[in-house]
Amino acid sequence: MAINLQKGQRIDLTKGNKGLSKLLIGLGWDPIEREKSGGFLSGLFGGSSASADIDCDASVLMLDINGKLSRKQDLVYFGNLRSMCGSIIHTGDNLTGEGEGDDEQILVDLHLVPQEIHKLVFVVNIYDCIRRKQDFGLIQNAFIRVVNTDHQEELIRYNLTDNYAGKTTLIVGEIYRHNAEWKFAAIGEGTQDASLSEIVKKY
C-alpha cells in the first residue's frame, strides 16, 4: 500500500527497505478540458472545445553536496535520456499528457548514483510556454509516485493539489541522501521559469 504524502512531508526510502535500489519515478498530469464557447459560428471560425495540447516535460537534476549542478551531463531530460553513470534513465517524452497513469517515467538505480551526487530533483515544466501562453492553471491531477521495480510495489504517491495558475515549472519532489540512507521529499513548488535552461541557472 503506497504512502500518500502531503506537501512538505519527508519519508525514508531505504531505511526499513533493505536492498532497495531500483525505482520507477512516475509523473502524471491531465489537461483541463475547456467548454465550447461562442456556439456554432465560433466553431466555424476557429473555436475549440478543448485546450491546446500542453507539452509537459519531466527532468532530473543531479546535484552535489552544495546543491549545485556541477556538470551539464548531470541533467537528464528529453534531450539527454541517460546519465553518464547509468543511474538515471528517462524513458522518453510524452507530448500531450493524454491517457491515464504515468505520462513520463524515470528509472533510478540508487546503488549506481555516484557518491558526489547528494540530491535528485524532479522537475516538470511546460515546453514553449511563453509562445503558447500556457501555465499550470491548465493542468489538473498532477502527481509523482515512487515504485519499487523489483516487486512492482508503489511505495509513495504525492498528489499536487495546490493552485499553480500562472506557474510554468513545478519542482515536484526530491530524493536525497541522509547519512547512509535515501529519503524522499514532497516539494510541490511552482515557479515562473519559462524553460529548462532558466531552471538550470538556479543550480
Q: Give the model's pLDDT for residue 2.
A: 80
pLDDT of residue 125: 93
At residue 104, the pLDDT reads 93
Per-residue pLDDT of the chain (203 residues; tens, 9 = 90+): 689 999 999 999 999 888 899 999 999 998 887 644 444 443 444 433 344 578 889 999 999 999 999 998 999 999 999 999 999 999 986 654 455 689 999 999 999 999 999 999 999 999 889 888 999 999 999 999 999 999 899 999 999 999 999 999 999 999 999 999 999 999 999 999 999 999 999 99
Return the pLDDT at 55. 87
Are 123 and 187 in contact by the 8 Å Cβ rule? The answer is no
pLDDT in the model for residue 45 = 40
| Burial environment of residue 201 by CB neighbours within 10 A (0 to 12, 13 to 18, 19 or more) | exposed
- Predicted pLDDT of residue 53: 76
Chain segment 1-33, per-residue pLDDT in tens: 689 999 999 999 999 888 899 999 999 998 887
How far lies 28's CA from each of 1, 17, 45, 69, 194, in Å? 19, 25, 33, 25, 20
Q: Tell me, what's the pLDDT at 54?
A: 81
Cβ–Cβ < 8 Å for 107, 24: yes
- Domain spans, the chain: 3-34+48-201
Q: What are phi and psi of 200, to 5 degrees?
A: -60, -35
Query: What is the topology classification, in CATH, of domain 3-34+48-201?
Result: Lipoxygenase-1 (2.60.60)
Confidence at residue 93, expressed as pLDDT on a 0 to 100 scale: 62
Q: Which residues contact 62 (CB under 8 A, 6 or more apart)?
A: 69, 74, 75, 76, 83, 88, 113, 117, 119, 120
pTM: 0.87
